[in-house]
Amino acid sequence: MITVEHLTKRYGPVLAVNDVSFTAQPGLVTGFLGPNGAGKSTAMRMMTGLTPPTSGTARILGKPYGALANPGRRVGVLLDAAAQHAGRTGRETLALSALLTGVGRHRVDEVLDVVGLTPDEAGRRVRTYSLGMRQRLGIAGALLGEPDVLILDEPANGLDPAGIRWMRDLLRDFAADGGTVLLSSHLLTEIEQVADRLVVIGRGRIVAEGTKDDLLRAAGTFVRSTDDDALDAACRAAGIEVARQPGGGFTTAADAEQVARAALAAGVLVTELRDTGSRGLEELFLELTADDAREQVSA
């Protein structure tokens, strides 16, 4: 489990992370989303002890990362796949990590096989690797200690479609075995497919948190009746705001029961009454971060 409480980071006058609190539970993949500059990477660096917080705490498995005994065996971390020694081979990179964390050398071959790096590729210098190969090596390093928790920042960068699907299956299986996954990515379609919970951050603060299904479920009701004008008036009289639709009927933020009671009180026969349905993650993301995005579309 990851528990973040009132995590704050200030760089002089800049408030990079502002009172962030959330949990990532075992057995679930938690998607950590936000536009560029929102504070995701800074928050993840604080969780893994690389950046000291100005205030607040981040605990992994009940303790700060640095207080864990041999944290490399408990927490697998990938924050920057480019931060690998270019002069070492892939196998040397993993062998050194295995030595430092006390992992048996047999794990090097096991994780290389898991991430799909061949013996020939593992014997090449990291400087010759493509971005996708660096990502696979970084994921291998995160898995090396057989951790209970994975913290991954943009792990799908550079992966081809087959690689992205492989990573999706890997994270699902890891969580299904009781592991905790915190995943940051700009690939919203992938987050939508793999995440169980979502935490959305904008300008350093949490703007939404909850299960994926709850957050993607569009609130409100669509209703159609034999006399939409009368039902419109009845809803407004009951304090329910409505929006007429060009094809007939209207939508409202009220739930179906509230609309049904208004129709009953007005003696109007309702012919269609349903939830407005679900929205996609991209729509939700843009809605929640519209005021926080650094890139603005000019007219």
pLDDT at 123: 96
Q: What pLDDT does residue 297 have?
A: 41
Q: Taking the domains of the chain in order of start, what are their residue ranges? A: 2-215, 218-275
Give tens-digit pLDDT for 226-276: 998 898 899 989 999 888 876 778 888 888 889 999 999 999 999 988 777
Place 107 in a pLDDT band, splitting at 50, 70 and 90: very high
| Continuous segment of H or E residues that includes residue 233 | helix 228-237
User: Would you state the torsion angle of the CA atoms of residues 62, 2, 40, 207, taken in this order, to the nearest 10 degrees?
Assistant: -110
pLDDT in tens, 161-213: 888 999 999 999 999 999 999 999 888 888 888 999 999 998 899 988 999 88
Q: Which pLDDT does position 298 carry in this prediction?
A: 37
pLDDT score at 246: 67
Of residues 37 and 195, more confidence is placed in: 195
- d(CA 224, CA 51) in angstroms, rounded, equals 55
Across the range 213-225, mean pLDDT stands at 79
Question: What per-residue confidence (pLDDT) applies to 243?
Answer: 82
**Angle at alpha carbon of residue 283, lines to 280 and 289, rounded to 5°:** 135
Q: What is the pTM of this model?
A: 0.79
- Give the model's pLDDT for residue 279: 62
What is the mean pLDDT of the segment spanning 17-36? 95
pLDDT tens-digit map of 45-74? 999 999 999 999 999 999 999 999 999 999
pLDDT at 36 over 90: no
Residue 72 — φ and ψ, nearest 5°?
A: -65, -20
Which of 97-111, 146-160, 245-259 shows the lowest mean pLDDT across its residues?
245-259
Question: Which pLDDT value is given to residue 275?
Answer: 75
Mean pLDDT to the nearest integer, 18-28: 96
β-strand partners of 17:
9
Per-residue pLDDT at 260:
92
φ/ψ (deg, to 5) at 232: -55, -50
- Residues 252, 254, 255: CA angle, nearest 5 degrees: 115
pLDDT interval class at 158 (50, 70, 90) = confident
Find out whether 154 and 31 touch, Cβ atoms under 8 Å.
no
In this structure, whether the domain defined by 2-215 belongs to CATH 3.40.50.300 is answered with: yes
Question: How would residue 150 be classed by pLDDT, with cut points 50, 70 and 90?
Answer: very high
pLDDT, position 206: 92
**Average pLDDT score over the chain:** 89
Q: Report helix, strand or coil for 243.
A: strand
pLDDT at 285 over 70: yes
